[in-house]
Copies of this chain bind each other. A is one copy, B any other.
Amino acid sequence: MKIEFITLKETFLSALVRNGFSLERAHPIATVFAETTFDGVFSHGINRFPRFISDIKSGIVVAGAVPELISDMNALEQWDGRQGAGISNALHCTERSLELARQYGIGCVGLRNTNHWMRGGTYGWKAAEEGFMFMGWTNTTPNMPPWGGNAPSLGNNPFVLALPHGEGDIVLDMAMSQYSYGKLEWHKKCGTKLPEYGGYNRDNQLTKDPSEILASERILPIGLWKGSALSLVLDLAAAIIAGGNSTKKIGEQKTETNLSQVFISIDVERHLGREQLNQLVRETLSFNSMRNESAQFPGQRSLRNRNYHHEHGVEIPEEIWEEILQLSGD
């Protein structure tokens, strides 16, 4: 069924308030879940919302927790998320990094003891909309074998790089695995093969069969040894900047929590000038196109989805909508 933005957001809002959030604190979380859904990223939008509520109920996410400043060094700050909602903590630290960048040109915030930030792109969009470049990443629970290994000891550590652009911000949001587990499950459900190799099967052969990879748990890092190494250094950098857990420690817990994240903003629009920036981006994009993707540059597909859904509403499968309505008390 077709749902409008305001309906979706208010339904999330109601569910959050029923589960211990003040209206003020529920509002940005509900907005991000609705925006993510409207951008077409259901996996971290509406489809993930029920799990977020159950994480509150089980105490993994502490609804009342507010992030605390641990230390600061001018343009570099360290915050403790105190197991609060990942979206709230990440929005707060994005804002802090923007504030620092306004003051110093660049700002960097490390955040420890936080929860899943849902769609990483959210924070890139926020910064780019205000004319800032953004670079951020999170570590995760161990879910990817290092190159040459066969047991997951690396996280797939999503990385975001966003740039402001008058004709549509550029927002890259990518994990260090070639395919997410969500994508593998989806292909399995549809009975389709992956378009490219996604991992090794139990016989040590590269495969496009999602079931074989789900069974072996040997998902492929992007660029093989390169993505494996990049994942490792992003994990270490996040833990060091945040003074928090690395993927190893996260894996020792029963569930994925107490993550470490990094938020870096750069005041590029003021630095270069808006006109020059837009011209440079336009020229470069005209030269390149990711031709067999549905988008010419990272972020373009989200923007198209967003515009389309704001005009027409977003189609939500009935059983999911029923589940969300129940959580919201309607």
Interface residues of A (CB under 8 A from B): 71-78, 103-108, 110, 133, 146-149, 153-154, 161, 163, 170, 172, 174, 178, 196, 221-230, 232-237, 239-241, 243, 246-249, 264, 266-268, 270-272, 276-277, 280-281, 283-284, 287-293, 297-298
Which B residues lie within 8 Å of A246 (CB)? 280, 283-284
Can you pick out 8 interface pairs between chain A and chain B where the beta carbons lie within 8 Å of each other? Answer: A74-B105, A133-B240, A148-B290, A148-B292, A163-B237, A223-B227, A240-B268, A240-B277
Select A271's contact among B71, B230, B288, B291, beta carbons within 8 Å. Answer: B71
**Copies of this chain per assembly:** 2
Bound-complex Cα distance A84 to B248 (A): 44
Which B residues lie within 8 Å of A230 (CB)? 161, 172, 174
Given A108-B266, A246-B284, A248-B283, answer yes or no on A174-B236 (Cβ-Cβ < 8 Å).
no
Bound-complex Cα distance A71 to B297 (A): 29
Which B residues lie within 8 Å of A73 (CB)? 104-105, 267, 270-271
Bound-complex Cα distance A146 to B298 (A): 13
Given A105-B74, A288-B154, answer yes or no on A163-B240 (Cβ-Cβ < 8 Å).
yes
Which residue of chain B lies nearest to A243 when distances are taken between CB atoms in the complex?
A: B272
Bound-complex Cα distance A232 to B222 (A): 16
Which residue of chain B lies nearest to A197 when distances are taken between CB atoms in the complex?
A: B197
Bound-complex Cα distance A73 to B316 (A): 47
A221 to chain B, nearest CB (A): 8
Which residue of chain B lies nearest to A286 when distances are taken between CB atoms in the complex?
A: B248
Is A133 a contact of B237 with CB atoms below 8 Å?
A: yes
Bound-complex Cα distance A64 to B284 (A): 31
Which B residues lie within 8 Å of A280 (CB)? 236, 239-240, 246
A210 to chain B, nearest CB (A): 17
Other than the known A196-B224, A235-B284, A246-B283, what 8 A-B pairs have Cβ atoms closer than 8 Å? A104-B106, A146-B288, A148-B292, A163-B237, A221-B223, A233-B298, A236-B281, A247-B284
Is A287 a contact of B223 with CB atoms below 8 Å?
A: no
Bound-complex Cα distance A235 to B297 (A): 13
Is A268 a contact of B284 with CB atoms below 8 Å?
A: no
Bound-complex Cα distance A267 to B222 (A): 29
Bound-complex Cα distance A178 to B248 (A): 27
